[in-house]
Amino acid sequence: MSDLQQRVEALYRSDVRGSVLLIVCLWATILFVLLMTWPYIPDSGIKVVVAVAAAAVLIFNTAAILAMLNHYKEDKDFIYGLDIKNADAARNRQS
């Protein structure tokens, strides 16, 4: 595996880790807020609306992040290759 390929893989793995962390934080935050506010919602109809809205936010945001990761996986050589080449060019200009 070439040096460029190794760097591309490292950047991709870093983005995957960051995305998984963001998904976990998103779920933890939404569920925490839902659980902490639940006792203060007086009407059961409003509880249903709040629960459905929270589920929609979790499902759609998680799907969007996973779709982004899938796109990155498909085009990682192009996406990260450009980043690496630009970073190397900037580093070479500074030295």
The domain limits of the chain are 16-89
Residue 87: per-residue pLDDT: 87
Q: Where are the alpha helices (DSSP H) in 1-95?
A: 3-37, 44-74, 76-94
Contact between 58 and 24 under an 8 Å Cβ cutoff? The reply is no
- CA-derived radius of gyration, the chain: 20
- pLDDT tens digits, one per residue of 6-54: 999 999 999 999 999 999 999 999 999 999 999 999 999 999 999 999 9
- pLDDT tens digits, one per residue of 63-91: 999 999 999 999 999 989 888 998 888 88
Residue 95: per-residue pLDDT: 72
Residue 1 has pLDDT above 80, yes or no: no
